[in-house]
Amino acid sequence: MSTIPLEHTMIGSDWHLPKRGVVGMCALIVAESAMFTIFVVAYIYYIGKSSFGPTPRQVLHVPVLGTICLLSSSIFIWLAEREIHRARMSRFKVLWGITCLLAAVFLSGTAQEWYRLIFHEGLTVRTNLFGTTFYSLVGLHAAHVTVGLTILTLVLIFALANRVRPEHAYQVQVFSLYWHFVDVVWVVVFTTVYIVGR
């Protein structure tokens, strides 16, 4: 054989590799999922094991408004993503702004709930096992929402200053993966704490 097959017939224009941002974000999501799983397991393990102090049934109110807001923020961020892919920047700004608002409503709902639990119901991290696991799990999720909201707000500010361009659609797509992840985690946390745990 005199010819060296330096190139396979398949490659050239057919060589496609996944995009870095998406793969990296998915890897991060895998790691975060593992962490949340452990907190959920701890929560479930300690359900009913508090021998004193307030119980979930006594003090927890289902956060309907916050949940609706957070879950619908996923829809709005998806819509915003569509708009930036189509280079319709003004619609993108509006939809992105609504996403921010919904996230902020969720967080303030959590803050109000915690205020009520701590000052009116006497439930803190150190009260009993329920207190420890509740604040840790919900708090961990809220921390992730806070990080997401911070990035959402930053992007909103840049967008309002006309610095966000259609070329940034990819970065928006990568971030929205994170945001969807946060929402999915809320579904799990919500089910564990407010449905199963009560």
Partner 1 sequence: MADASIPVPGNVGEAVDITPPGEFKGTWLEYAHSWIVTVDHKRIGILYIGLGLFFLVVAGIEALLIRIQLIRPLSNFVSPDSYNRLFTLHGTTMVFLVGMPILFGFGNYLIPLMIGARDMAFPRLNAFSFWVSAFAGFLLYYSLVGGEGLAGAGSAPDVGWFAYAPLTELAFSPGHSTDYWTLAVLLNGIGSIGTAVNIITTTFCMRCKGMTLMRMPLLPWLYITMSTLVLLAISPLTAAQIMLLVDRYLGGHFFDTQAGGSALLWFHFFWIFGHPEVYVLVLPAFAFANEIVPTFSRKAIFGYAAMVVASVGIAFISLSVWAHHMFTVGMTSVSNTFFVLSTMMVSIPTGIKVFNWLATMWGGRIRFTLPMLFTTAFLFQWVVAGLTGIILAVAPFDWQVHFSYFLISHFHYVLVGAIVFMIFAAFYYWYPKATGRMLNERLGRLHFWLMLIGFHLTFDFMFIVGLLGMPRQIYTYMPDRPWTTLNQIISVGAFLQGLAILIFVYNLFYSYSHGKKAGPDPWDAWTLEWATSSPPAPYNFETEPVVASRRPLWDLKHPEDPDSAYE
Residues that bind partner 1 (CB under 8 A): 1-2, 4-8, 10-12, 15, 17-20, 23-24, 27-28, 30-39, 42, 45-46, 49-51, 124-126, 128-129, 132-133, 136, 140
The token pair that represents 181 in the structure block = 């992840």
Comparison of 53 and 97: residue with beta carbon closer to partner 1: 53
Q: Could you tell me the smallest distance in angstroms from the CB atom of residue 37 to partner 1?
A: 8
What minimum distance in Å lies between the beta carbon of 45 and partner 1?
6
Cα distances (Å, whole numbers) of residue 97 to 29, 35, 139, 163, 179: 24, 30, 24, 15, 14
d(CA 168, CA 190) in angstroms, rounded, equals: 33
Q: Select 38 or 87, whichever has its Cβ closest to partner 1.
A: 38
Q: Which is nearer to partner 1, 135 or 190 (CB)?
A: 135
Phi and psi at residue 5, to the nearest 5°: -75, 80
Closest distance between partner 1 and the C-beta of residue 84, in Å?
Answer: 22
